[in-house]
Amino acid sequence: MAMKVEVVSTESIKPSSPTPSHHREFKFCLLDQLAPPFCVPAVLYYSAPDDKAAPNSASVTGNLKASFSQALSLFYPLGGRVKGNAPIDCNDDGALYLEAKAHFQLSEVLSNPDINQLQQFLPFSPYTMSPNIEEQAIVGVQATFFDCGSIGIGICISHKIADSASVSAFLNSCSEIVVNGGDGKANLKTPFLKASELFQPKDIKFQIPSGVISREKLLTKRFRFDGESLVRLRARFVSATPTRVEAVTALIWKSAVDAARKRPDWNKTCPPSSAVTHVDFAGILRKSIRAIDSEYLSVLQGENGLAKACESLMAARKLVAASAGEIELYRFSSWARFPFYEVDFGWGRPSWVCTTSVPMKNVVILMGTRCGDGIEAWITLAEHDMIEFERNDELLQFIAPSP
């Protein structure tokens, strides 16, 4: 049975106090200028308590709106509007707030998530570039009330100003405001507010590269690695000690390449990826991460910062063009260490935190788990690649069953 979420109200939430005049213009940093005009989406699900009455929706709504209003004053650019790469006009237009009803039980979502239906819990589509994108709120929140008394909090924040760390910081500040009774003692963690001072913006008009939004038929699936399987996986790296994220990334990367090489049209003269082990992939990954050092950041902050920031992007595009489609690009993003599971609005910790499907090929998002020692990998591949990926024997050794 299809799960239907019904939006029952829509409104704008203004910052609790006006933005000071000296903060009315917010400049993007160089890295933000290069970011695509998408949003970072996340949904937090809170199960109804077993030992007491479910939260009253009117009371929940009031507390949520009050906390978001105060948080918008702390994260003041989020109450403005994005207009390309021009500085944000922090005009206090506010955030979008939706209230919705889910006429089913949260257990139906938790037991067997239908990834294609999870966007119903978000205030708007995170990857659709609306013709009126400049009029769209930078942040949107949707509170969804389930028949069982459970609650879902979906949020989208423009990737032009925020990443997953910023989304986590904003939500944790909102929850602290609720816990502290709205007395404004939220722990302010807004790393993006000083970013333009560190990475000076440049006079550029960056266009999102063609082909980022895939026209192929894609599948997004979730793969769980629990604490025990991650211990076994890391033990396979005899000569090195990778982090959990490095180990999972290397395994997924190699398995995805193996799947791609099984396409009928793949160049059979290419050496088989089985000749390259997951340890080799991990070594390449670690070397690349270590290259983002103080020297690299110093160049990024200097006069040649734009050229340095675009260096790897241009190299990748040239490599793909020269290979006539025989080289695959994979994008990995780790949210595993961000404290989404610490966001408590007075109903306890979330039962589950997730993102949604991505309309881009070869994208992997790594998320933490409630217990803290596992990783959920949200993987988007072309349909034919996903079929082969799921059959990979090496990968299947470490996939944990659904809880």
Question: Rounded distance, CA 176 to CA 184, Å?
Answer: 9
Q: Per the residue annotation, which of 92, 93, 344, 384 is the catalytic one?
A: 344
Phi and psi at residue 145, to the nearest 5°: -105, 125
Residues 96, 38 contacting (CB under 8 angstroms)? no
Among 329, 324, 315, which residue's Cα sits nearest to residue 364?
Answer: 329
Q: Per the residue annotation, which of 159, 163, 278, 385 is the catalytic one?
A: 159
Burial of 381 (0-12, 13-18, 19+ CB in 10 A): buried
Among this protein's residues, is 23 annotated catalytic? no
Question: Rounded distance, CA 23 to CA 17, Å?
Answer: 13
Among this protein's residues, is 344 annotated catalytic? yes
Give first-to-last CA distance, the chain, whole Å. Answer: 21
**266 three-class SS:** coil
Burial of 108 (0-12, 13-18, 19+ CB in 10 A): middle
Question: Rounded distance, CA 157 to CA 180, Å?
Answer: 24
Catalytic residues: 159, 344
